[in-house]
C-alpha cells in the first residue's frame, strides 16, 4: 500500500512486459528530483508517456534513490507502467504493471481490466514462478490508477478545474474499494494548489498530499509530511520538458465533462 501511495505522490508530481518500450515514440518525459527533509536529491525519477500505436498509450514511472538513500528502494517500485486506450474522450487503463522487491524476491504485479466481462483481476508473479491470480472484483464503475488519472485530468477529460470543487474517483481496490479525493484550490494563473487524500473502505484516510500545479496541468512541486523527517517532496527539474497546449492531441468534440 505504501508503494501505491508513493507512486501517486511521485507520478502526479508532476508515480512493458508486453512489448518493446524503447521502440514507441516518447511524447513527453518529465524529470523530478526527490528530497526528504533537509536532504536534497535523495532520488531522481521520470514520468514518461509514449504512444505505442494510434489511440493507445503507455505511461511509465521509473527511477531510483541515490547514494545512501538507495535503502529507500525497498519502498519504491523498480518501475510502474499503465497501458491506456483513448475511448469516448477518456484514457481507459487496460493493464497496470509494477515491479518491486519484497523480502529478497522480485515481484511483478499486474492489474487486468476486462471491460467486456466487467471485472478487474490482480495477478502476481514472484521470481520465476508462474503468475497466479490473487483476486478479482466486479468492475461496476470507472476505476483509475495514479497515471491514468493524472493524464485524464491534464487533458480535461473531467471538465474544467474550478476552485472550491471536490472531485472523487474510484482507484485500484485492495481488493476492498478505495477512492482518491481531490480538493481544488484557487488558480493564480501560474499555480493552482491541489490537495489529495486517499480514503479506504473503512473510512481511514491517507495523506494529505499537496501539489502546486502549473498552467499546463503538470505539478511543479508536491509534498507530504513524513514523521521524523519533515517533508517528502518532489520538484520538477526542467519545466522546459513540458509539452505545451494540447500535449498529446487527445481532446476533441467527443470529450465528456461528466466525472464518474
CB 143 within 8 A of CB 93: yes
Q: By the 8 A CB rule, do 210 and 219 touch?
A: no
Is 156 a member of any domain?
A: yes
Query: What pLDDT digit, counting tens, does each position of 117-130 carry?
Result: 999 999 998 877 88
Q: ω into residue 212 within 30 of 0, thus cis?
A: no
DSSP for 53-117, written as a single string: ETTEEEEEEEEEE-GGGGGGGGTS-SEEEEEEEEETTEEEEEEEEEEEEETTEEEEEEEEEETTT
Do the Cβ atoms of 158 and 130 come closer than 8 Å? no
> Could you give the number of structural domains in the chain?
1
Residue 228 confidence (pLDDT): 75
* 3-state SS record for 37-63: CCEEEEEEEEEEEEEEECCEEEEEEEE
Q: What pLDDT does 144 receive?
A: 96
Residue 8 lies in a domain: yes
**Residue at 27 is within a domain:** yes
Domain of 95, in residue numbers: 2-241
- C-alpha angle with apex 118: 115 to 124, nearest 5 degrees? 80
**202 located within any domain:** yes
In a domain, 254, yes or no: no
Assess if residue 140 is contained within a domain: yes
> What are the 10-residue block averages of pLDDT along the chain, 260 residues in total?
46 37 76 87 88 93 64 62 94 92 80 96 87 92 95 91 95 92 93 95 92 93 84 91 68 38
Q: Is residue 259 part of a domain?
A: no
Tens-place pLDDT, residues 188-224: 889 999 999 999 989 999 999 999 999 989 999 999 9
Query: Does residue 251 lie within any of the structural domains?
Result: no
Cα 222 from chain centre:
13
What's residue 65's pLDDT? 60
Amino acid at each position: 500500500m505504501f508503494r501505491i501511495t508513493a507512486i501517486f505522490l511521485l507520478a502526479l508530481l508532476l508515480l512493458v512486459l508486453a512489448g518493446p518500450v524503447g521502440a514507441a515514440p516518447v511524447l513527453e518525459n518529465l524529470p523530478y528530483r526527490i528530497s526528504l527533509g533537509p536532504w536534497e536529491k535523495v532520488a531522481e525519477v521520470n514520468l514518461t508517456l509514449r504512444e505505442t500505436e494510434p489511440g493507445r498509450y503507455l505511461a511509465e514511472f521509473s527511477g531510483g534513490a541515490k547514494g545512501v538513500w538507495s535503502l529507500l528502494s525497498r519502498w519504491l517500485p523498480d518501475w510502474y507502467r499503465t497501458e491506456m486506450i483513448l475511448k469516448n474522450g477518456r484514457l481507459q487503463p487496460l493493464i497496470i504493471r509494477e515491479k518491486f522487491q519484497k523480502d529478497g524476491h522480485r515481484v511483478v504485479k499486474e492489474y487486468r481490466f476486462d471491460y467486456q466481462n466487467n471485472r478487474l483481476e490482480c495477478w502476481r508473479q514472484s521470481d520465476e514462478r508462474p503468475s497466479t491470480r490473487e483476486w478479482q472484483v466486479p468492475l461496476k464503475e470507472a476505476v483509475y490508477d495514479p497515471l491514468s488519472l493524472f493524464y485524464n485530468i491534464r487533458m480535461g477529460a473531467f471538465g474544467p478545474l474550478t476552485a472550491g470543487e471536490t472531485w472523487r474517483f474510484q482507484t485500484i481496490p485492495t481488493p476492498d474499494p478505495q477512492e482518491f479525493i481531490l480538493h481544488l484550490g484557487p488558480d493564480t494563473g501560474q499555480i493552482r494548489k491541489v490537495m489529495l487524500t486517499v480514503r479506504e473502505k473503512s473510512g481511514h484516510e491517507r495523506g494529505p498530499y499537496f501539489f502546486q500545479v502549473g498552467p499546463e496541468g503538470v505539478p511543479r512541486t508536491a509534498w507530504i509530511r513524513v514523521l521524523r523527517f519533515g517533508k517528502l517532496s518532489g520538484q520538477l527539474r526542467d519545466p522546459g520538458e513540458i509539452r505545451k497546449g494540447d500535449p498529446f492531441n487527445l481532446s476533441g468534440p467527443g470529450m465528456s465533462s461528466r466525472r464518474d
